[in-house]
Structure 1
Amino acid sequence: MDKSIVTLQNILEARERLKGVSRFTPLEPSEAFSKMTGANVFLKLENLQKTGSFKLRGAYNKVAALAKEAARGVVAASAGNHAQGVAFASSQAGIPATIVMPEGAPITKVERTKAYGAEVVLSGQGYDDAFRKAQEVQQEKGAVFVHAFDDPLVIAGQGTIGLEILEELPDLDAVVVPIGGGGLIAGVACAIKEQRPGVQIIGVQAADAPSMLEAWKIGKVQELKSAQTIADGIAVRRPGDLTFEMVRRYVDQIVTVDDEEIARAILMLLESSKLMVEGAGAVGIAALLHKKCDLSGKKVAVILSGGNIDVNVMSMIIERGLIKAGRYLRFKTILTDRPGSLQKLLSNLAQSGANVISIVHDRIKPNVPLKQAEVEISLETRNAEHIAQIVESLGKMGYELDILR
């Protein structure tokens, strides 16, 4: 393959290579998100792909094409999803794989990569640090480097998603695609634009990691000073050179969403569509929800690129989301330490219609006066108005509340 360009033919060849390996993931219409956004939304569920991410496609296409070149194994750098794709592909090919991941990579992604048989090296604070370390390891081992995005075979593999979208939705108007280093959007955009030039291709980056957007603005690739976001899968300080050229050729618009918007999208995907999606996978929905691009009335495919989210992060997002929606209240108050005091408070809460989630009753804290007790209570509530009613009611009864966030 010519290393300077990726063609539709390359993507068609990748599809043949991936037959029986990658899943033809569903393209599901979403009534909920269509109502919320005003667009006719279809969700491309790459979070249901093998290894939990689209990255399997590009990684397998690359490793399978290497044949005898990779006898000494492969090396890759990844925030987690490419790692699993390379590990899976290498296990299928029967060759060793060494993956360098950032020290803060989600534990779930690290453990799953190991489970596929790869050696994992933790190094650096983000993808770009891990990339530099992986280059050192590759030189030491004499192995083949499998780039996470700036490789024509990897890009072609990711482009098979575009083929699937057009096959199921030939009359679509736009596709919304996450961007980190650019491999996914480069491949998808090529696959779609070469067949349907009128389809809009819109890329979405995290606001605190806008490497491709900055390159787009100034016309050349540069490295950002930092890329800190809950969307770790797209936290890339420097996009690819090849991917940048393809983005310039095929992509119509790039927008950004912040971490709060991403977190809200993750929660809404879980609650409205029963889909577990990681930060990088949720940026497309976040962009639609927050009107970052005007696609009202259009038939839109949104790629949910991965579902490998750390359960601790998900727990935090759920709790924060419930607090913002007025569906969760946590407070502390002081009670007289005598029989019936706690029961009286709980009775008042029951009458208010709140559901008690947890109670911590502490009578021996050093800062709590003798014959008194501190109580910390978590409540499930209906909305912000309901919380205001509870706080007002308890205040009238003499309780001094310390609201916890």
Structure 2
Amino acid sequence: MQETRLDTARIRAARRVIDPMFLDTPLYRCEAWEPELGCRVSVKLETANPVRSFKARGTELVASRLVDGGSRAVVCASAGNLGQALAWSGRGRGLDVTVVASRTATAAKLARIRALGARLVLVDGDHELARDRAADIARRDGIRLLEDSLDIETCEGAATIGLELAAAEPTFDAVLVALGGGALATGVGHVLKELAPGVEVICVQPAGAPAMTRSWRARRVVTTDTADTIADGVAGRRPIPAVLDDLLAVADDAVLVREASIVAGMRMLLDHAGLVVEPSAALGIAAILEDRERFAGRHVVTIVCGSNVDLAAYHRWTGTPRH
């Protein structure tokens, strides 16, 4: 395997730091999908926890190391899920957490960040402008800047999912991973390439926010001027070079999917698995829907990575009635 910034020994050690409630999440086969999708699909459910996403696996590491190092303040930019996770991990350790987010971010995510006690700073722009503002705050106040996907804790925390997948029985042929900044994909990919190299690692991104996928295909950083997708959790425009290098070492493919397929995936997760998820969590199902022939007869795992969704928007997208 090509070298990445990640280290499997550190990833195994991370399991001793992360609160057990975020570990060993459910992994189960969803047979109800199989007639329509034409393949065996198992779900790795990363939403049954207090922050309803996988992000706390990484923020638990960050917060623990800050405390060990005597630091008490940290700032991050977030589309919502990282901010919630950092607020949760920081609250339990007495940290001063600041989260910078776009004013247009999902209202439910912003409300939860506030409820968890973090200071919320809103910017009139997208996630990339929030990243710039968070860096400014860190410089001004002399505090830790947590950069999702660049900071190795976010990748190695997510990589603990890979340890659980590698140990799973029965084995599987491919894993479909939502691709945004890259922490989840590089983390899971690193572990699987080392411990289960026969598993195909396929990253999935919305066609409306294609920067990381275009970068992976070009083998160099490709930025975009805009991002237009309902999958706000993966709507970045400026890939991080070091993260792209890691992704190039572990990803077998990166694909783009249409918005209609994302919505169809969300509806399938509701109808056949009883799961209300945010759009990013449906990217794996969207990829199967768009290329059934590729996955025919195979056993595929999709990581359901978040369920922090604005319910009014969810009902509008999926055409489900509000009660």
- TM class by shorter chain equals over 0.9
Alignment check: 8 A CA contact 1:255 1:292 kept: no
Q: Closer, same or farther in 2 for the Cα pair 1:26/1:264, shift >3 Å?
A: same
Q: Percent identity?
A: 34
| TM-score of the two chains, using structure 1 as the length reference | 0.76
**Letter of the aligned partner of 2:300 in structure 1?**
V
The separation in 2 between residues aligned to 1:45 and 1:65, in whole angstroms, is: 27
Alignment check: 8 A CA contact 1:174 1:300 kept: yes
Alignment check: 8 A CA contact 2:38 2:292 kept: no
Query: Which has the bigger relative contact order, CA under 8 A and spacing at least 6?
Result: 2
Which is worse superposed, 283-292 or 89-98? 283-292
Helix, strand or coil at the partner of 1:50: coil
Once the two structures are superposed, residues 224-281 of structure 1 have per-residue CA deviations (whole angstroms, 9 ceiling, x without a partner) of 1111110000001122222211110111011111111111111121122110110111
Match in the other structure for 1:377? none
Match in the other structure for 1:146? 146
The separation in 2 between residues aligned to 1:317 and 1:145, in whole angstroms, is: 35
Task: Please state if 1:164 is matched with 2:191.
Answer: no
1:2-401 aligned at under 5 Å gives the runs 5-69=5-69, 71-169=71-169, 171-291=171-291, 294-319=294-319
Helix, strand or coil at the partner of 2:268: helix
Helix, strand or coil at the partner of 1:194: helix
Structure 2, unaligned stretches of length 5 or more?
Answer: none
Once the two structures are superposed, residues 98-154 of structure 1 have per-residue CA deviations (whole angstroms, 9 ceiling, x without a partner) of 000111011100011111110001113221111001111111221101112211111
Alignment check: 8 A CA contact 1:158 1:187 kept: yes
**Letter of the aligned partner of 1:268 in structure 2?**
M
**Letter of the aligned partner of 1:153 in structure 2?**
E
**Letter of the aligned partner of 2:133 in structure 1?**
K
Once the two structures are superposed, residues 285-312 of structure 1 have per-residue CA deviations (whole angstroms, 9 ceiling, x without a partner) of 1111221771211111100110011011
The separation in 2 between residues aligned to 1:299 and 1:291, in whole angstroms, is: 14
The separation in 1 between residues aligned to 2:224 and 2:172, in whole angstroms, is: 34
1:21 Cα deviation (Å)?
4.5
Which is worse superposed, 215-224 or 306-315? 215-224
**Letter of the aligned partner of 1:55 in structure 2?**
K
1:216 Cα deviation (Å)?
1.3
The size of the alignment, in residue pairs, is 319
Helix, strand or coil at the partner of 1:98: strand
In terms of Rg, which structure is larger? 1
Structure 1, unaligned stretches of length 5 or more?
Answer: 323-356, 358-405
Which is worse superposed, 68-77 or 223-232? 68-77
The separation in 2 between residues aligned to 1:284 and 1:163, in whole angstroms, is: 19
Helix, strand or coil at the partner of 1:101: strand
How large is the RMSD of aligned CA atoms in angstroms? 1.7
| TM-score of the two chains, using structure 2 as the length reference | 0.94
Once the two structures are superposed, residues 64-88 of structure 1 have per-residue CA deviations (whole angstroms, 9 ceiling, x without a partner) of 1222546340000000000011101
Alignment check: 8 A CA contact 1:70 1:144 kept: no
